[in-house]
Structure 1
């Protein structure tokens, strides 16, 4: 995880270093009580404030305080701290207390823990907890409208058709909110307000109302197999124990893992506790949400970045008030203020999406375990391809494991076979040109479509082509802000950088040699694959599923429904197709480039590729029809591909663990990455050398670098990297703090410390 170190010199300062400026209170004879308030800013610590007479505060209370010329929300971190050396005359008063529940004590401890572990400013972590400042005030009163007894003729008001429809809707008596009334009557807001202002409608207070209905644990669920029931009973026992534990549900794709942990959710709800379910990609959760609603009768509270401001405000407040009993969310949902949290579930725990890369780049799976430990509650991790870190914790006895080795309801695991591209070479298509599908895969697609079944082609590359170059001079179109090629997206006629977001229209002439119409697309993306498939199978209904075409939960739900409703014959997708979708009629999966991701120097490359391919293979044959998976590869003997074909997952993980251990890499050592970046290349190089010269020299500690980061320029900033490695029994944080205290980082250089880095770009 990475953390950006804030430079000193902000307005105000922590209580143990300097004081916020303020007004003198000379007439105070009795020492004023004081509170220490943590602010949601990347500052060095909490601040001391004067507690006005008559205002009672406790740790966790949410308050508004002055900082410089601003007024900011904050959380009381201590009352009457005994280590404060701020003169009373310099204390500024707390302005007010928000009418909101205090932050629970386990959450406050969690904020401190995350900050200490990732070398982050505590206020930067608190900002994730107070991400919706507007929710700190009570919800806006709900206003309803009733029909009044006034006579329109007596009021001299002409009744138009729209006005009559409003009065007719309200003829049965119950009040309606403005949105309900406009929807039922088919009128604008102005029509309703005009009738109320004229006296024909009466405004009434509806009270706060319920924001989320409570799930019904008694709603009947599907019959569980014996293996599922045994696993569910073990999970329920952990919930009943009301103590910290971590249990891994290790089940093959299609084994019913979700229904198993739903039993634990039911048990937690029966004990009047809140439940948090973390999903790696909330935009792809349409099927999960539908399954939850069928099981519990209502939809859960949802938390992710696609919510609008009003939805975020309503959900944050419902969680804080304890009204939202089940929350399903992306990684940031971990920082919501649950007052009665009783269970955390991390679904697809191996997914890289749980690692945040910006701000405080924590790993939500790891922090979910910490949050459970601090709250004394059970955590459940779920995966068909558990991470090596999780399996090592199982091996060491820190985590329990329940296994589901078979698919539910008798469905069989798909047959997986390689296609050796050295022997079965793709042949050019007359009139079309280069092909990326081997004859064997083409034949399998044709057989599948002829049987009326669905097929999936998987290629983890967005756009049309990953590289565009000039045929005349070899010039390659590169991002002007990053050391990365521009990806062609032919459907929207743009070249895009997938790292910084830069986009431009394809140039008409080469910027280097000036030749026109000389650019060639190199390599396939999913758009180019769709073009080839449409040529080979002109009557097939083809659909693309990538982050460019599926942009949120609603879009994902529509797409999934179109596949389930047999509106699609051949699906082409990137990694998002692997995320738990259930397509009963999909029987063939073709992986176009199984070698993609197997190289590049990333220590997790093999593991991540195995997980992705295993997940996408699991989309085939999930119902009564058997499934088949074909892997196009130039390396059929690679350990990852052999493990997939032979079904030897555990053996693969053993070999992967042995390799990591021999190389002295996580999870058998501890790792941190130090990334320096600046627009000034000389400044970043000088700071990197200074850090290297001050590097710790002690047993069990190794520092590698500095060296240019793989993305040596990102968003216009030059980047240098040092890797810091310690033995497993050494805590890296104290050593890192001592090291960094020896080097003055100039203001033009940004230092990011990434504890437990997950990627190395």
Structure 2
């Protein structure tokens, strides 16, 4: 091959042609370094016939500079990159960048120094040093990591190094991962679980593409069932990928995995340091990493021999990427399984309507687990009508819920109070002049976080200390918190139950797998009586002594007119209800609501999920909404409001006349300003049969909006803000 075509890691550039120097060997998928003007860029060799661009004359070609000493990007992943770019209207290079998520992995062998305890007790054992040694145990890592684990400063760890209590060891960044043993500790499965596990394992052994919906109630043992498919992949010497919706779920899952297979799987998420990402990427590319557990980005890694893909909690909206390439990991996972020729397992207690529809069409095969494992029973769910049984003035817990908490704590059991709102209060205003604290960069209120004494925007991250005086009228002690967040509920719990041990669980307090592991350990040890948490505690956790769940505001998720609002509320409350009564003790769920007659609340109380889903599906069908029709959002943004408005109107005026497609807008987006950019939104509604991507590509491709305006397209949007 004397010339080749390369996709470079620059979304503004198309494919480029280069000469292959004498003695250099490349093939499709080879990762190369290429010159571009005075710069050097990373790129991937691609099949010229799949890109359809004109060839450049040989006399104008420049030489490739180098080839990375790693396996080429496999053909199935290249096809997935093409499909994702085409379906979600993204540049090929933007998608391909996700496959090259560790540039250090392309370099040669590396050594670093990590630290571990020696077992020596230092002569001066301060309380902080003692805490560090106890918490570190037999763990090993960088000084900063050990300090985080021990909850001490870096200086404490360095002091222990000087004292000889912690020593440095040289570590090969590419040291092999231990291999999981499929026969280490086979689980004792019920007959229903065994039948489901055998079905999934047989499909994995057959090594053919087949999508499955593993539909099991909360506590039915879905994890143990799909891990048998992973065991089948291990026996066939193939790799497995398990996607989790939250990084905080990784650590509890690793513990369960280790109990089953004897070693931890390979983790992939944003919390890894660069050396860990490098080691994982190289092991995945060579096929040495047999089981990978990670967030949605793990879907684009270059697996050598993928044998099965599992999407756990497949209904979760966090699988939809909202920045950059707007892909949905659930749907892309199915396509990756198709290109790899392996089964895909979507596991959920509350499957999305889109997934259920695929089952009805016969495209997905359903495997059901209708009962909880062993003696555990589904919890009793009751609604508390807040109009008939209001909380005491200034409080948020209804009397019946307080009585239930009293009884639960008296029995020595644990309580979970759920409110999907971080912080202390969603709005702070001045009672003197009415000033409301709003983010200067977004159309959003600043949320008070009393634990850290700051006002924070949950959209852009802008934050500042909570002022003592109103910035408008300068009146002191006039600021009022409006509405509850989890911190405010925790304050009420502390006032009612001063002797109870309470934990607040949100993304503010559980920001890493290590923090999640600490929380799980405290719950299992009985060191927590009452958990006050957001959606972070609705999934994945198994606490046998947790028997009461209180949903503080069931109506919160129904606000805003979102297409999926009712479905999402049903899923979220069903999931949090599923944390109750997972052991031998019966569970109770009390749902506080102002609308006990709402269809979603009645479905939760009655347990009639099928009727709820049937009614939601009929409403979608009547509106020709997904999965029966298609949506695509076009968001025009600029720091100049007038320019954004003008461009959005230009886009609207040029809408092509196509049968089966309507365009609504432009209108200011509900979040009209985000991170300092003014936003206008158009919504494309098309029939299922229309190739709406081609229409949008041609429509927007003919327009020129200049460098100060961004036009983003979100195919199959989940966020309507």
TM-score by length of 1: 0.87
Match for residue 320 of structure 2? 355
Question: Which residue, out of 47, 56, 65, partners 1:86?
Answer: 56
Question: Which residue, out of 272, 288, 293, partners 1:328?
Answer: 293
Match for residue 358 of structure 2? 393
1:466-615 matches, cutoff 5 A: 466-615=426-575
Does the aligned pair in 2 maintain the 1:277–1:347 contact within 8 Å?
yes
Gap change, CA 1:90 and 1:298, over 3 Å in 2: same
- Matches of 1:82 and 1:752, distance apart in 2: 24
Are residue 56 (structure 1) and residue 54 (structure 2) matched?
A: no
Gap change, CA 1:206 and 1:390, over 3 Å in 2: closer
Gap change, CA 1:129 and 1:514, over 3 Å in 2: same
Question: What is the deviation of 1:178?
Answer: 12
- Matches of 1:338 and 1:90, distance apart in 2: 36
- Matches of 2:617 and 2:626, distance apart in 1: 9
Question: Which residue, out of 679, 698, 701, partners 2:639?
Answer: 679
Are residue 65 (structure 1) and residue 17 (structure 2) matched?
A: no
Question: Which residue, out of 39, 43, 58, partners 1:74?
Answer: 43
Question: What is the deviation of 1:285?
Answer: 2.3
Match for residue 238 of structure 2? 273
Question: What is the deviation of 1:44?
Answer: 4.3
- Matches of 1:208 and 1:257, distance apart in 2: 34
Match for residue 149 of structure 2? none
Question: What is the deviation of 1:187?
Answer: 5.2
Does the aligned pair in 2 maintain the 1:43–1:124 contact within 8 Å?
no
Gap change, CA 1:511 and 1:207, over 3 Å in 2: closer
Gap change, CA 1:336 and 1:442, over 3 Å in 2: same
Classify the secondary structure of the residue corresponding to 1:128: helix
Question: What is the deviation of 1:222?
Answer: 2.0
Are residue 295 (structure 1) and residue 260 (structure 2) matched?
A: yes
Gap change, CA 1:533 and 1:82, over 3 Å in 2: closer
- Matches of 2:502 and 2:457, distance apart in 1: 26
Match for residue 8 of structure 2? 39
Are residue 378 (structure 1) and residue 378 (structure 2) matched?
A: no
Question: What is the deviation of 1:357?
Answer: 0.7
Gap change, CA 1:72 and 1:408, over 3 Å in 2: same
Gap change, CA 1:193 and 1:219, over 3 Å in 2: closer
- Matches of 2:47 and 2:362, distance apart in 1: 37
Does the aligned pair in 1 maintain the 2:174–2:282 contact within 8 Å?
no
Match for residue 271 of structure 2? 306
Question: What is the deviation of 1:139?
Answer: 2.4
Does the aligned pair in 1 maintain the 2:424–2:448 contact within 8 Å?
yes
Are residue 718 (structure 1) and residue 678 (structure 2) matched?
A: yes
- Matches of 1:79 and 1:644, distance apart in 2: 55
Question: What is the deviation of 1:577?
Answer: 0.7
- Matches of 2:242 and 2:59, distance apart in 1: 48
1:350-378 C-alpha deviation (Å, 9 max, x unpaired):
00110111111211010000111111111
- Matches of 2:299 and 2:171, distance apart in 1: 32
Are residue 117 (structure 1) and residue 87 (structure 2) matched?
A: yes
Question: Which residue, out of 402, 408, 420, partners 2:367?
Answer: 402
Does the aligned pair in 2 maintain the 1:34–1:79 contact within 8 Å?
no
Instruction: Structure 2 unaligned segments of length 5 or more: list them.
Output: 115-121, 124-139, 147-156
Does the aligned pair in 2 maintain the 1:103–1:337 contact within 8 Å?
yes
Classify the secondary structure of the residue corresponding to 2:187: coil
Question: What is the deviation of 1:410?
Answer: 1.8
- Matches of 2:175 and 2:698, distance apart in 1: 51
1:54-103 C-alpha deviation (Å, 9 max, x unpaired):
11111111111112222122111137999643122221100011111111
- Matches of 2:299 and 2:687, distance apart in 1: 29
Does the aligned pair in 2 maintain the 1:322–1:338 contact within 8 Å?
yes
- Matches of 1:713 and 1:543, distance apart in 2: 34
Are residue 215 (structure 1) and residue 180 (structure 2) matched?
A: yes
1:582-614 C-alpha deviation (Å, 9 max, x unpaired):
111110000111111112110000001110000
Instruction: Structure 1 unaligned segments of length 5 or more: list them.
Output: 1-31, 145-160, 163-176, 195-202, 429-433
Does the aligned pair in 2 maintain the 1:44–1:122 contact within 8 Å?
no
1:379-412 C-alpha deviation (Å, 9 max, x unpaired):
0000000001100101111100010000001200
Question: What is the deviation of 1:186?
Answer: 7.5
Match for residue 701 of structure 2? 741
Runs of 4+ in 1 over 4 A off after TM superposition: 79-84, 141-144, 177-180, 185-194, 205-209
1:616-627 matches, cutoff 5 A: 616-627=576-587
Question: What is the deviation of 1:511?
Answer: 2.3
Question: What is the deviation of 1:509?
Answer: 2.2
Gap change, CA 1:728 and 1:189, over 3 Å in 2: farther
- Matches of 1:438 and 1:110, distance apart in 2: 51
Question: Which residue, out of 581, 587, 590, partners 1:630?
Answer: 590
- Matches of 1:128 and 1:661, distance apart in 2: 35
Question: What is the deviation of 1:634?
Answer: 0.7
1:507-536 C-alpha deviation (Å, 9 max, x unpaired):
232222332211100001111111111111
Are residue 651 (structure 1) and residue 621 (structure 2) matched?
A: no
- Matches of 2:319 and 2:72, distance apart in 1: 27
Does the aligned pair in 2 maintain the 1:59–1:79 contact within 8 Å?
no
Match for residue 105 of structure 1? 75
Classify the secondary structure of the residue corresponding to 1:409: coil
Classify the secondary structure of the residue corresponding to 2:374: helix
Q: Greater shift after overlay, 661-670 or 134-143?
A: 134-143
Gap change, CA 1:36 and 1:646, over 3 Å in 2: same
Does the aligned pair in 1 maintain the 2:284–2:301 contact within 8 Å?
yes
- Matches of 1:470 and 1:373, distance apart in 2: 57
Gap change, CA 1:219 and 1:569, over 3 Å in 2: same
1:235-260 C-alpha deviation (Å, 9 max, x unpaired):
11211221111001000000000000
1:364-375 matches, cutoff 5 A: 364-375=329-340
Gap change, CA 1:436 and 1:393, over 3 Å in 2: same
1:646-686 C-alpha deviation (Å, 9 max, x unpaired):
01111111111111111221111011000000011111111
Does the aligned pair in 2 maintain the 1:100–1:138 contact within 8 Å?
no
Classify the secondary structure of the residue corresponding to 1:410: coil
Classify the secondary structure of the residue corresponding to 1:75: strand
- Matches of 2:608 and 2:253, distance apart in 1: 28
TM-score by length of 2: 0.91
- Matches of 2:592 and 2:646, distance apart in 1: 46
Classify the secondary structure of the residue corresponding to 1:724: strand
Does the aligned pair in 1 maintain the 2:250–2:294 contact within 8 Å?
no
1:690-711 C-alpha deviation (Å, 9 max, x unpaired):
1111112122111000001010
Does the aligned pair in 2 maintain the 1:44–1:121 contact within 8 Å?
no
Question: What is the deviation of 1:193?
Answer: 13
- Matches of 1:560 and 1:178, distance apart in 2: 22
Gap change, CA 1:684 and 1:351, over 3 Å in 2: same
Larger radius of gyration: 1
- Matches of 1:46 and 1:251, distance apart in 2: 46
Question: What is the deviation of 1:349?
Answer: 0.2
- Matches of 2:398 and 2:56, distance apart in 1: 74
